[in-house]
Amino acid sequence: MLDAILWLVREMGMGFYNFFYAITHPGLWLSWVWNGLASTDDKKALMRFIYYGASRELFFVFLDFFLILTALGLWKRRVMWGTVIAYEKFANTLGRTAAWAGLIMVLQQTMVVFLQRIFRVSEIAIGPFSPFGYKLWDGFTLIAKDLSWWGEELKLYNAIIVTLCCAYTFIQGGHVRVDLVYARLRFRRKKLVDMVGSLLFMLPMMLLIWKYSWPFMWRHLITPAVSASDRLELMLRKAIVVRWNVETTGFSPSGFDAYFLFKVLLVAFTATMIMMAITYFYRSLLAFREGPEAETKYLDKDTLGEGEEVYEGTH
């Protein structure tokens, strides 16, 4: 038991050291951003960036800052409220923007069906001389893809909505909940359940997904492939031959060929939900301390207007 405590304290202390070492030596892990993969050192920097992006070292840096922010929030509530307001504003803005992908998806599907059934076209073009995707003249075409490409791309819009609107939907209270005992609890006990759920279920699950989705994304962007189980020494040896190899293989020869974007969205989803778990914990903690009036304090919820509450799920 004592050894475990000493290990935890040592790792948390190293978290501060690793953070300050990283920001004072950016070239060791970021030189590939401004130099590309011009040299072996730049390739090693990329491999360090990938390795530490889902490492134990990063976890303890994250834990250190979470504990510091929590301690500051307990001392000065406006710090915790500021964190809640800032992230909920970001998540709401991101979700409301990403939700427009639903309209684009519907319009594009309509265009695909219309052009396929009415004009019997084999490809859809976008340009000044391509009204509604129908190419009248070969010149000035911005993009022209096979009909199957546009049809398969619809999955990307759906993925954008699912991944980037998840935190926004959580804030709006739009996720389906299976409630067995929660509704019968008193207010403060509900907040305790929310805090325990966010810290012991939601946050660990999101961290686990991040652990594997981060290298999963990179294995579709570079070669040789990396794995969540790779050690730093192995990845630095791979750096000698590393190069960009962005996934552009579709399910059909002329189909959608940017499936790497789905991996990027998975990482973005995990990052937003990690912050959502922390924000939800802070809001529940503040409501636990301040009372029921704090449950919706500074909460920016969508509304259909007065008299439409029944359609908002607030009845």
Tell me the three state secondary structure of residue 86: helix
The answer to whether the CB of 82 falls within 8 A of the CB of 128 is: no
The answer to whether the CB of 303 falls within 8 A of the CB of 312 is: yes
Per-residue pLDDT at 114: 83
Percent of the chain with pLDDT over 90: 69
- Which residues make beta-bridge pairs with 243? 223
pLDDT mean across residues, the chain: 89
The CA distance from 10 to 136, in Å, is 68
The whole-number average pLDDT for the span 238-256 is 85
The model's pLDDT over 132-175, given as tens digits with 9 standing for 90+, comes to 555 555 555 667 777 788 888 999 999 999 999 999 999 998 88
The model's pLDDT over 62-80, given as tens digits with 9 standing for 90+, comes to 999 999 999 999 999 999 9
pLDDT surpasses 90 at 235: yes
CA 148 to chain centre: 28
pTM over 0.85? The answer is: yes
CA 192 to chain centre: 26
> How buried is 178 (Cβ within 10 angstroms: 0-12 exposed, 13-18 middle, 19+ buried)?
exposed
DSSP 312: T
Residue with tokens 């990027």, as numbered in its chain:
264
CA dihedral 194, 199, 201, 204 (to 10 degrees): 160
Dihedral class, residue 191 (left if φ above 0, else alpha if ψ from -120 to 50, else beta): alpha
The CA distance from 193 to 302, in Å, is 25
Tell me the three state secondary structure of residue 146: strand
Alpha helices in the chain (DSSP H): 2-24, 27-35, 40-52, 56-75, 77-98, 100-114, 147-164, 166-172, 187-197, 203-218, 232-238, 260-290
298: tokens are 């500074």
The model's pLDDT over 104-135, given as tens digits with 9 standing for 90+, comes to 999 989 888 887 787 777 777 666 655 555 55
For 144, list phi and psi in degrees, rounded to 5: -140, 120
**Kind plus residue range of the DSSP H or E element containing 143:** strand 143-146
Per-residue pLDDT at 128: 60
Per-residue pLDDT at 130: 56
Could you tell me which residues come within 8 angstroms of residue 290 by beta carbon, excluding any fewer than 6 positions away? 77, 297
CA end-to-end span of the chain, whole Å? 50
Smallest Cα–Cα separation from 179: which of 169, 192, 193, 167? 193
Residue with tokens 């500021």, as numbered in its chain:
82
205: tokens are 């699950």
The model's pLDDT over 10-26, given as tens digits with 9 standing for 90+, comes to 999 999 999 999 999 99
The CA distance from 282 to 286, in Å, is 6
The answer to whether the CB of 209 falls within 8 A of the CB of 201 is: no
The answer to whether the CB of 112 falls within 8 A of the CB of 125 is: no
Per this entry, what is the length of the chain?
A: 315
